[in-house]
Amino acid sequence: MSENAAAMAVDHCLTCCPAVESTKYSDTFQMSAHDKRRLSGITRMGSFTSTVKIDNEDSQDKDLQFDNHMSYQQLLEYCRTHNNQWPNSQLIERTFSSIPYDQDSVEGNPVRVLQWNVLSQALGQNNDRFDSCPLEALEWKHRRCHMLEEILKHNPDIICLQEVDHFDFLSRALATQSYSGLFVPKPDSPCVYINDNNGPDGCAIFYKNDKFDLLEKHDKVLQVWTVHSNQVSLLLVLKDKSTQKELCVSTTHLKARKGALLSTLRNEQGKDLLQFISSHAADRPTIVCGDFNAEPTEPVYSTMCSCSYLPLDSAYKLSGSEPLYTSWKIRGGEGEVMHTIDYMFYTKHKLTVSNILDMPKEIDIGENRVPSMTYPSDHFSLISDFYFNNNTTNFCE
C-alpha cells in the first residue's frame, strides 16, 4: 500500500471512529497508544483524492505584467478595472472599529497587519464543493484581482497569508508597492494532486521594505509528538526603520476537520508552534497570525492565550469577544458553516491595538455566502493596527 493510500485509510478510520465525531473538546482527552498511532498517521496526510503527484510550476499568471513604477492608486484602479468586467462584482465594503487605548503608553506610528486565508485556487475550484458559488466567481482570472484589491485597499504594512498557491502573482504585484515576500509550502500540499494546479499551497508573509528591514527568516514543519505534520509556520524578524524597534511576525495554518482527535492534533501543533516562535522571538514584540481551524472553545485557543513563556492575547477579543464568524460558507455535503477560526495573537505587554477591521455584515455577504462574485475567499481578512508600547526597548540594547 502506498503512503498516500495508507493515509487515506487512516483518514477513513478516523472519520468512522465515534471518538472523532465527538464535538466536545478537552485538554485532558485521553489518548490511547492506538489513537496516537492513528493520529500520527493523519499528521502525515497531504492528499485525500489521488496518489499521483502532478508537479507544476507557479506559472499561471504570466499573462499579467506589472509596471514597477505603478503608484498605489494606479494598481488599485488596475484591479478595479479588471474586476468591472463582471457585473455586480464590486468588492464587499467594510469598516474599522477603534479600540480605546492609552496614547501616552505608546510611541511611533501604528503597524497595520493583515491576516487572511486567501483560499487555494486549486482546492477552491476543484475540491471544496462551493455549490452555491457561481462558477465564474471561482475562476482564477476573476479571483486574483479581487484578492489583490482586498489587500491593497487597506494598505497594510505586513501581510500574513495562508493557502497561497499563486505566490508569483502576489509577489510581482505587491513588489510595485515596495513589498517583499517570503513563502513556505506545505510538505505534501493537496494542491499538487489536482490537475492544472499551480504548485503547492503554503504560508506567506509580505512586508513593506521601505518601512522594515528583514533581520531573520525561519520556517518549520509543525510536529505532533515529534512526528512531522503537513502544516507549516513561517516567521520573520523585522526592524522598524523609523523606531529601530524589532518585531517578530509569524503565520501558520493548522490542520482542518472536526472531531476530538483532530482537535487534539491542533493543540499539539499549537504547542510546537509556541516553542518555535519563542525560540526566535526572544524578548521581542510578537504577532502570530493564522487560520487555526479551531473555534475559541477548542484547546488550542486556550493554549495560545495561556502560554507562560510567550504571553499572547487575541487582538479581536478586545472588542468584547471574538467575531461571530471569520468564515461563512456553503459546501456540498456539509451545508452552511459559520465559524470563527482565524486569529491575530500578540504580546500585549509590548504592543497595543488601536483599530480592528470589522467582519462584513450578513446583508453584504449575501445569501450564498462566500466565496462569491463580491469576495474571493471563504475566509474574511482580519486587520489590526498595532503600536509599540513605549516601555519596549530596542532588542539590541
Query: What average pLDDT does the structure give for the chain?
Result: 90
Domain map (residue ranges) of the chain: 3-389
Segment of 3-17, 41-55, 219-233 carrying the highest mean pLDDT: 219-233
Task: Look at residue 392 in the predicted model and tell me its pLDDT.
Answer: 74
Task: Look at residue 113 in the predicted model and tell me its pLDDT.
Answer: 99
What are the phi and psi torsion angles at 385 (to 5°)? -100, 125
Give the pairing of strands 286-291 and 246-253: parallel
Percent of the chain with pLDDT over 90: 82
pLDDT above 50: residue 208:
yes
Distances (CA, A) of 220 to 58, 185, 279, 282: 22, 10, 12, 17
CA distance 19 to 32: 12
Best CA proximity match to 155, nearest among 100, 213, 75, 81: 75
Q: What angle do CA 184, 330, 50 make, to 5 degrees?
A: 50
Best CA proximity match to 3, nearest among 33, 48, 35: 48
pLDDT band with cut points at 50, 70 and 90 for residue 104: very high
Q: What is the DSSP letter of 66?
A: -
Task: Look at residue 356 in the predicted model and tell me its pLDDT.
Answer: 99
What are the phi and psi torsion angles at 97 (to 5°)? -115, 140
CA 26, distance to chain mean position in Å, is 25
Task: Look at residue 9 in the predicted model and tell me its pLDDT.
Answer: 38
Give the pairing of strands 342-346 and 286-291: antiparallel
Q: What is the DSSP letter of 21?
A: H
Task: Look at residue 187 in the predicted model and tell me its pLDDT.
Answer: 98
Task: Look at residue 56 in the predicted model and tell me its pLDDT.
Answer: 93
Grid cell, residue 101, equals 487605548
Task: Look at residue 23 in the predicted model and tell me its pLDDT.
Answer: 41
259-307: pLDDT as tens digits: 999 999 999 999 999 999 999 999 999 999 999 999 999 999 999 999 9
Question: Is residue 287 a contact partner of residue 249, using CB atoms and an 8 Å limit?
Answer: yes
Q: What is the DSSP letter of 265?
A: H
CATH of domain 3-389: 3.60.10.10
Best CA proximity match to 289, nearest among 333, 210, 232, 342: 342
**pLDDT, average across residues 70-80:** 95
**pLDDT, average across residues 43-62:** 74
143-178: pLDDT as tens digits: 999 999 999 999 999 999 999 999 999 999 999 999
Task: Look at residue 15 in the predicted model and tell me its pLDDT.
Answer: 40
Q: Identify the helix (H) or strand (E) that includes residue 385.
A: strand 382-389
Task: Look at residue 42 in the predicted model and tell me its pLDDT.
Answer: 57
Question: Is residue 242 a contact partner of residue 109, using CB atoms and an 8 Å limit?
Answer: yes
Task: Look at residue 5 in the predicted model and tell me its pLDDT.
Answer: 39
**pLDDT, average across residues 68-81:** 94
Task: Look at residue 29 in the predicted model and tell me its pLDDT.
Answer: 53
Best CA proximity match to 207, nearest among 162, 167, 159, 161: 159
Scanning the structure block, which residue is given the C-alpha cell 494606479?
Answer: 74
